[in-house]
Amino acid sequence: MNAALDALHEDVFRKHMAPFWAVDTSADHDEDRQVMDKKKALPFVWKYRDDIEPLLQRSAELVTMQSSERRSLILVNPGLAPRRASVSTMYTAYRLNDPREIMPPHRHSPNAIRFGLTGTMNFTGVEGEDITFGPGDMVLTPHDTWHNHGNQGDEPAVNLSVLDLPLVETLNATYFEHDYTEEVDGERIRKNVQSARVSSEYSREIYSRGGLMPRFVSHDRGTGNASPMYVYRWEVMRELLESFRDWDGDSYEGLLVEYVDPTNGQPVFKTITFFAQMLRPGERTQPLKQNASLLVAPFEGSGHSIIGGERIEWAPFDTVAVPGGHWCEHVNGSDSEPAILFVASDEPTLKALALYQKHGKTPEGDIVRID
């Protein structure tokens, strides 16, 4: 009987099929477990000062814009390798641009953001808005919008990107285009730099006054399926967080502020969303578990997180992977200064599919449903 059953399973797999029956719970015949995806994202930290920054510097010496339009490091989760994914649905990449580097325009189906780390003259031109940004500023490049990146300053500049490319790849919907053209005197002309069509402070001028919506401009920028506000300035977010510093906050998430589409209050993208999270001096959040996956990039301060029972130390500009389904708590390591985390989440995708769940653990050890 066992030999015949083993032979059956061998033939099933050889024919590129999988059995869906449970003969018993042994390792050989627990077929429910065998048909499940074996590769899962793991809690992990990529260290900026020790690992990412030295490799970026070496890449700047060896890889020029003449040999490659991109010079970025993608963070690959060891549980998902060789797939280019930091968690199952997103990846973070770090980019270093030398002074006065500008790459040609391109567009693609994945949504992306840029978050400034160093340098005050990072550059992203998106749909005719030339945006110069610095540390803490978040710039959107929504799916299917023409954009180009670079550095307009005289010093090197580093920023990190977050893309939903692993999700888009899973849905077989990935494409990239590089043949940017503009109409000049009635002809379509290939161009290496987008022409500005609005002011460089358009996003601030139109959308920076909460609760007030200009009706004399169109808000369907790009495809109209993302926030039309393409840059979110750090000084505004930092001031807001500071103004709430003495509030009770949330015991599971501290002070958490979401970046939203100013026209409807929804996440900036349909697939992924972003937050700034402040942990007050000495603050420790209660354990939280959600099926959304997170990428957490400390921006100010240092501390540690306990993810799935594993302690992970973090410092500014690191990136921490918090895969969905893991208990997580954050601890600010300072008793005098706040820690601020930049957070990306695939929560909108799970909510759109009615799959999102969030649970917390009380000080007494009880598990409660939050969302």
pLDDT-flagged residues of the chain (< 70): 1, 22-37, 65-70
- Asked if residue 62 lies in contact with residue 72, where contact means CB atoms within 8 angstroms, the answer is no
Query: Residue ranges of the domains in the chain?
Result: 2-33, 44-369
Instruction: Reduce the DSSP state of residue 278 to 3 states and report it.
Output: strand
pLDDT score, position 263: 96
Tell me what pLDDT residue 17 has.
84
Q: What DSSP string describes 115-164?
A: EEEE-S-EEEEETTEEEEE-TT-EEEE-TT--EEEEE-SSS-EEEEEEE-
Rounded distance between C-alpha atoms, residue 75 and residue 84, angstroms: 7
Could you tell me which residues are beta bridge partners of residue 151?
122
Tell me, what's the pLDDT at 28? Answer: 60
Can you identify the CATH homologous superfamily of domain 44-369?
Jelly Rolls (2.60.120.10)
pLDDT at 29: 58
Q: Which residues have C-beta within 8 Å of that of residue 274, sequence separation ≥ 6?
A: 113, 138, 162, 258, 259, 267, 268, 342, 343, 344, 345
Q: pTM of the full predicted structure?
A: 0.93
| DSSP track, 242-270 | HHTTTS--BTTTBEEEE-B-TTTSSBSSS
pLDDT at 24: 62
Angle among Cα 366, 368, 371 to the nearest 5 degrees reads 165
